[in-house]
Amino acid sequence: MPKPVTEIKELYKISNEIRENIIKSLEKAGSGHSAGPLGMADVFTALYFNVLRHDPKRPHWRDRDRVILSAGHIVPVWYATLAEAGYFPKRELWTLRKLGSPLQGHPEYHSIAGIENTAGPLGQGVSVAVGMAYSLRHFAKSNQQVYVISSDGEQNEGQTWEAVMFAAKHRLPNLTMLMDRNNIQIDGATEEVMPLDSIRAKYEAFNWHVIEVDGHNIKEVVDACNQAKAIVERPVCIICHTIPGKGVKFMEGKYQWHGKSPKGAEARVALRQLRTMGGKISVIDSE
């Protein structure tokens, strides 16, 4: 099992590398989702390089924590993070969405090392994670943690709330949702398409413990995940407030980049901006 990266500045360097590889893979693919993957790079970095109990050399290790990606369209950030962590060679990233590639536009269970679920229709991954957490706790008698990555747009799905109720009923302390609260979905702003506020009050009403963090403050994300482990007899929802397209100025906050990939000159500008900023995407330092 790799040692956690504890130096915050180093974690930001990693998340910046992940963002660059997201842009490169999307540009080569010619299609795919940009905004969500860039926005969640810091959260994925916190998970895979500090929080998770996992081993890239043993991807099927029985005692590993599980990560379930419910918001399957942001899978480029999962692929880029897994490659950065050593699950598979980075050269595989350049095959994103190609015919025959294991890296398709939505994740497929065990298509490549580290992928724990298949995701397509939004909301279903929450049910998968809840079932997994229930099984690990009640049948395997295990303390392994299950982390489900959900989007704010997924909260429009009825199936999500069925799973949320089930998790609360069975008091699953080994289940943590990290919600990407970026306020956009494919058709526009979430609060125009289907208002969600107050999403915190909704989860608290369903008897979940709720923590809110700046999704670009890696220390806050790490601390929230550690706090979640200490919560007993309740699942935890960590609402991660993020900026879609984070790090690429012409994408930031724009729903039009939800399901669009950068082409040619756009990709070059995006990479130049990321490289100029280096490890300084966030103003948060190591103090």
CATH number at residue 173: 3.40.50.970
Kindly provide the b/e burial profile for residues 126-161, where b requires at least 16 CB atoms within 10 angstroms of the residue's own CB. bbbbbebbbebbeeeeeebbbbbbbbbbbbbbeebe
What is the model's pLDDT at position 257?
95
pLDDT tens sequence across 28-53: 999 999 999 999 999 999 999 999 99
Does residue 286 lie within any of the structural domains? Answer: no
Does residue 98 lie within any of the structural domains? Answer: yes
Say if residue 143's pLDDT is above 90: no
pLDDT tens sequence across 149-182: 999 999 999 999 999 999 999 999 999 999 999 9
Say if residue 255's pLDDT is above 90: yes
Say if residue 128's pLDDT is above 50: yes
- Residues spanned by the domain of 183: 8-277
Residue 59: alpha-carbon gap to chain centroid: 18
Kindly provide the b/e burial profile for residues 74-108, where b requires at least 16 CB atoms within 10 angstroms of the residue's own CB. bbbbbbbbbbbbebbebebbebbbeeebbbbbbbb
Does residue 162 lie within any of the structural domains? Answer: yes
Does residue 1 lie within any of the structural domains? Answer: no
Say if residue 286's pLDDT is above 80: no
What is the model's pLDDT at position 285?
40
Does residue 287 lie within any of the structural domains? Answer: no
Does residue 263 lie within any of the structural domains? Answer: yes
What is the model's pLDDT at position 120?
84
* Distance, CA of 178 to CA of 211 (rounded, Å): 10
Does residue 283 lie within any of the structural domains? Answer: no
Does residue 190 lie within any of the structural domains? Answer: yes
* Distance, CA of 215 to CA of 136 (rounded, Å): 28
Q: How many domains does the chain have?
A: 1
Say what the pTM is: 0.95
Of 245, 279, 185, give the one whose Cα is nearest residue 38.
245
